[in-house]
């Protein structure tokens, strides 16, 4: 008679197609014998010899994940660059199962399979940012610690999951951490200078206390366990230290558009087209006055920190991205002719980006006709005049006999500061001779005449 039997044996966890062999010693096998899994029979050829091995191929699925990481995740700044250190409990860390020969035989190899082979770190959007082998983790008491590199400098929120290389556990709690790098005090991103990028990171940590996600010792200058007003004052003094403060390298272009509007002794800096912008930095140049102070604009809704060094001003949000609108109000010592912003840096999605310089022209308080420049000149010169209000303007050039040579302006002109260029030609376009010429403006009741010299 034929006896049928079944053998149950354990194999190392895996997924995919696996072939097993079962040897029956001292018996003849029939075509009905074989390895069976999940109701499938795998057969041998008829008349298989004694001591033959029955082979079967099965599809296996390892669908048992490691135990979940604890809901006690905490994150602190690491020792270098963008490193962060995550600490948590993991009950399966270091645990393993051994699989090998059965039934007292010595055939085959012993396999040790660990419950956790790696830890995966995800950002707030659920994107995988780091995979750390379990062998690189350290254990202190009941806590497991791993070091990973943040996707960018500054504050961020993260979760950690355990993995056996196939399955992934559920996530830990969400914990925040601030990656601070660099050896220069106040230098958050390790580029050797303290500028608006570092201010944007500092603003994210402002108000944090020891034990909270955004806290970092790097910005707790007074070592009192919190990042507060005294640390802000210290950072303000550090602003501008290290390498060159301004935009010394070519930066990718920002989508943000800045503009300046000058009204009396105030200049309003507006920004539009903002996409995930955290801060701004620019140099301020004033024609016809000086900067008294700069205030953060309404676009920040009171959630901002600002610093200045010389003519460089920087402002960053303490509450995420900035909305379109006025980002700064510049108070001037007088009604300036113009205000120019240059070396503009926009911190967009934690990266520094550049923008073209912009200029705002002020509304003058009185009529004026300035001396031409250059003077003497050859062959062109610039003539600037100021209008405190809209006016019907005539700007004309005469020779010393009083003969009209050229009409540069004749008509209605808006209030502001305007510049016209004369190229030493008459109204017919013919070049004029060297000599002294008069240029005269009439704007409403305002009339003024100046001299200039053409030298060929």
Q: Is the pLDDT of residue 444 over 70?
A: yes
Domains annotated on the chain, with CATH:
16-60 (no CATH), 74-96+109-179 (2.60.40.10), 196-238 (no CATH), 257-361 (2.60.40.680), 368-454 (2.60.40.4070)
pTM of the model: 0.59
- Give the residue, 352 or 230, on which the prediction is more confident: 230
pLDDT given for residue 405 in this prediction = 97
Give the pLDDT of residue 13: 58
Q: Looking at residue 443, what is its pLDDT?
A: 96
pLDDT at 382 over 90: yes
* pLDDT attached to residue 23: 52
156-200, pLDDT tens digit by residue? Answer: 889 999 999 889 999 999 988 878 876 778 888 878 888 898 899
- According to the model, what pLDDT value does residue 417 have? 81
What was the pLDDT predicted at 105? 46
Which of the residue ranges 24-38, 106-120, 200-214, 425-439 would you say has the lowest mean pLDDT?
24-38
pLDDT tens string 146-155 = 999 988 877 7
Q: What's the pLDDT tens digit per position in 100-145?
A: 554 444 445 566 778 899 999 999 899 999 999 999 999 998 899 9
Q: Are 307 and 321 in contact (CB under 8 A)?
A: no
């Amino acid at each position: 008679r034929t006896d049928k039997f079944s053998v149950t044996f354990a194999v190392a966890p895996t997924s995919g197609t696996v072939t097993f062999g079962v040897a029956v010693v001292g018996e003849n096998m029939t075509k009905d014998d074989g390895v069976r899994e999940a109701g499938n029979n795998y057969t041998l050829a008829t008349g298989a010899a004694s001591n033959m091995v029955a082979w079967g191929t099965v599809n296996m699925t390892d669908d048992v994940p490691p135990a979940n990481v604890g809901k006690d995740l905490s994150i602190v700044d690491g020792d270098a660059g963008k490193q962060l250190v995550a600490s948590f409990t993991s009950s399966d860390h270091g645990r393993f199962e051994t699989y090998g020969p059965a039934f007292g035989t010595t055939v085959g190899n012993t396999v040790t399979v660990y419950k956790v082979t790696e830890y995966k770190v995800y950002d707030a959007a659920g994107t995988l940012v780091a995979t750390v082998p379990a062998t690189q983790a350290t254990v202190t008491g009941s806590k497991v610690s791993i070091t990973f590199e943040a996707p960018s400098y500054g504050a961020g929120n993260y979760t950690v999951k355990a993995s056996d290389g196939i399955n992934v556990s559920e996530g830990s709690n969400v914990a925040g951490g601030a990656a601070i790098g660099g050896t220069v005090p106040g230098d958050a991103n390790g580029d050797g200078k303290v500028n608006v990028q570092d201010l944007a990171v500092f603003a994210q940590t402002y108000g944090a206390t020891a034990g909270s996600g955004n806290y970092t010792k790097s910005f707790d200058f007074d070592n009192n366990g919190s990042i507060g007003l005294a640390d802000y004052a210290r950072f303000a003094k550090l602003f501008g230290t290290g390498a060159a403060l301004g935009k010394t390298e070519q930066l990718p272009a920002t989508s943000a558009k800045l503009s300046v509007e000058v009204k009396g002794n105030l200049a309003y800096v507006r920004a539009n087209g903002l996409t995930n912008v955290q801060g701004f930095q620019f140099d301020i140049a004033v024609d016809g006055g000086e900067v008294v102070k700069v205030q953060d604009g309404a676009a920040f809704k009171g959630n901002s920190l600002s610093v200045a060094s010389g003519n460089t001003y920087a402002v960053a949000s303490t509450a995420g991205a900035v909305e379109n609108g006025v980002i700064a109000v510049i108070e001037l010592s007088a009604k300036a002719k113009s205000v120019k912003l240059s070396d503009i840096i926009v911190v967009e999605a934690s990266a520094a980006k550049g923008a073209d310089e912009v200029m705002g022209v002020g509304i003058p308080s009185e009529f004026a006709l300035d001396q031409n420049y250059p003077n003497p000149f050859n062959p062109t010169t610039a003539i600037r005049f100021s209008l405190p209000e809209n006016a019907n303007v005539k700007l004309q050039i005469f020779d010393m006999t009083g003969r009209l040579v050229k009409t540069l302006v004749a008509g209605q002109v808006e209030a502001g500061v305007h510049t016209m260029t004369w190229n030493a030609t008459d109204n017919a376009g013919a070049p004029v001779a060297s000599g002294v010429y008069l240029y005269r403006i009439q704007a409403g009741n305002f009339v003024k005449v100046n001299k200039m010299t053409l030298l060929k």
